[in-house]
Amino acid sequence: MAPDQQLAIIIQAGCNDQHETLGSTVLLYGRPEFGRPNMIEDCLVPLVAMIRGLYPAAKFPDVKIGVMTPIARWWPANAKAANGQLMNEWGNAQFSAYANWLTILGNPQSIGVDAVWDSRRDAALDCRKAATVTLNSTVYQADRTHLMANGYVHHLGRGATALLDRFWA
Is residue 5 within 8 A of residue 16, CB to CB? The reply is no
How much is the pLDDT for 16? 82
Contact criterion met (CB below 8 Å) for 162 and 6: no
Residues 44-83: tens digit of each pLDDT:
999 999 999 999 988 888 999 999 999 999 999 999 999 9
* Residue 27 pLDDT: 95
Looking at residue 3, its pLDDT comes to 67
pLDDT at position 141 is: 96
pTM of the model: 0.93
Give the model's pLDDT for residue 17.
84
User: Residue 158: what pLDDT?
Assistant: 93
| Domains identified in the chain and CATH numbers | 7-168 (3.40.50)
Question: How many alpha carbons fall within 13 Å on the CB side of residue 23?
Answer: 4
Extract the residue ranges of the chain whose pLDDT is less than 50: none
Give yes or no for a contact between 141 and 148, defined as CB atoms under 8 angstroms apart.
yes
Torsion angles phi and psi, residue 7, rounded to 5? -145, 130
Q: Classify residue 29 by its DSSP letter.
A: B
Instruction: Give the pLDDT of residue 139.
Output: 97
**pLDDT given for residue 58 in this prediction:** 87
